[in-house]
Structure 1
Amino acid sequence: MFKKEFKTIDEQIQILKKRGLTINDIESASRYLLTNNYYNIINGYSKPFLEEKEKYINGASFDEVSRLYFFDKEIKQTLFNAILDAEHHLKSLFAHRFAEIHKGDPEAYLNVSAYNDDYSQDIAWTITNFARIIRSNRRYDNNSIKYYIDNYGAVPIWVIVDYLNFGDLLTLIKISPISLQNKLAEDLISFIKANNPDFHKKFSPRVMISFIKNIHETRNICAHNNRLIYSSCRADGKYFKYLHSQYNIKPEDPRNTVYTTFISLQCFISRTEYAKLNNTIRKRMKTLDNHLFSIETNSILDLLGFPNDWYNLPPIQQG
């Protein structure tokens, strides 16, 4: 039997006050809870302000909890936009290298022999997915798939790749032959060098794919508006000495945090794109710092894996 009873907004407010949360503007807080969902705001973002399960620390306020919710939302939007840039670059690079290998066969992606046969189940799923995308889009006007079928009789990889989601793209890269993965990893070095001019090492497919996996997981958190603070990826990204050592991350340290995913993005986006991401996150953290009084901002940075006082570092020059 379901034991959680419905609570009116007034009852929700009283519960919060009873637990020691300061609410300076009852009317504003009531309207906020009505339009933003008590469960999402309070259950999702109260934890850093709790002394124990149902007791807030001295001085904790509703304004701080709602501000933390807004901060988390803004960081997700910022990260998501940067991940869209990374996805765009990966699709373009992959399509070019795949087409280069399979000259004369525009639909080689429908052929089992185009992939690494160690991944038979993923290959079958990928080919079925490609066929489904073509089948569902060829029936409708005003899309590139129908245009290419009508005018050229086939849909090349550089057209259909834009119909894949990030998870599809990750699988496609994972099941590709190591020769193609190497070409893709080598192409990405241009982004690494743009963000780190003295870089002269190799970027291996193993590291590349592990980074993409964690970027994909973080992307899903952002896209589905789940809570970013307290989140972590299922596995550590592979240790990339050149990159991680710059940020004092040792091989034994966790590499599944928002922070490690954030720094890995400089392997997939331009210097201008990364500078914008970096500087925007800093601004959001500084704004949060101006609105937190009962807890330290560093406690929130820690939940995201960022070093203490990270937002006080100088910005990256853009352009």
Structure 2
Amino acid sequence: MEKPDRRLSVAPMMDWTDRHCRVLHRLLSRRALLYTEMVVASAITRGDAARHLAFSPEREGPVALQIGGSDPATLAEAVRIACGWPYVEINLNVGCPSDKVQTGAFGACLMRDPGLVADCVGAMAAASRAEGGPEITVKCRIGVDDQVAEAALPAFIDRVSGAGVSHFAIHARKAWLQGLSPKENRDIPPLDYPLAVAQKARRPELEIVVNGGVASLDAAEGFLAQGVDGVMIGRAAWHDPGAVLAAADRRIFGEPGPDATPDAAARAMIDYAEEAMARGERLHRVLRPMLGLFAGRKGARRWRQVLSSASTRADAGPELIEEALAAVAPAHAA
């Protein structure tokens, strides 16, 4: 299977990068690689796989699946099942610091055990090859707790790449599993971009993507100019998707344009919202990723207020988007 273009991607984010978010983001960028939320491997193997894995390639693709787990056999079975959907990549989470993943001994905890990660990705890759599936990749931190990141990260990459992984998305912060909450782990540990970027120069044959605190296309272009293979943007793509994604196809991927616009994306979401509600989706879940679509524009606050009212208005329908749009000033008046 052909590798996706990873020059710009939107990070997997729990409770954020669901199908509705990906539909919106795809309306803003045809080229950025989009990720699912992390799906626990056992939820795929023991539960309703379709509920966790189904997506629309036409509306959302290309999409990468992120899986969490630490048992090679369970991960391999989850990959085998996931190959029934047209994901372009299956990524192992070795970076999430939440209590849930610590209890399950996966996520960032795995930074301490690169040998186990190598076993996991080896089993995953074998399962994917057997099904004609996509590449297995890893998203990691630069280290955890009292590890010396300058030693831990290269050692981790060397051990895991030896199992066949050639792509690493590196969140350029340590995860402090003792003493910091998951929210604090997104901001308090200092960023060490040079360490993440240095992995490309050290192992030029690997594909290295930088993640963590990247908030703009300007920043993304700066990292790409330093020689890394891609940049992964997280929270900024949720809070201000227009600024992060609307010009991405032109600026990052060299497309001729014109750029997408938040206005057009909002109007396209009307039809999508109608379809989603027809299959039983709740309107406020569909609208939630759109709240930041007009960040910085006059009327953005009223836009958010109108869309947020969907959670309390029993009679609300997709026309709520048109009502909210009426409050937003034209782009030239921003």
TM-score tier after normalising by the smaller chain length: under 0.3
Kindly indicate whether structure 1 or structure 2 has the higher relative contact order, using CA contacts under 8 Å at least 6 residues apart: 1
Structure with larger Rg: 1
- Which protein has the bigger strand share? 2
- TM-score of the pair, normalised by structure 2: 0.23
- TM-score of the pair, normalised by structure 1: 0.24
- Which protein has the bigger helix share? 1
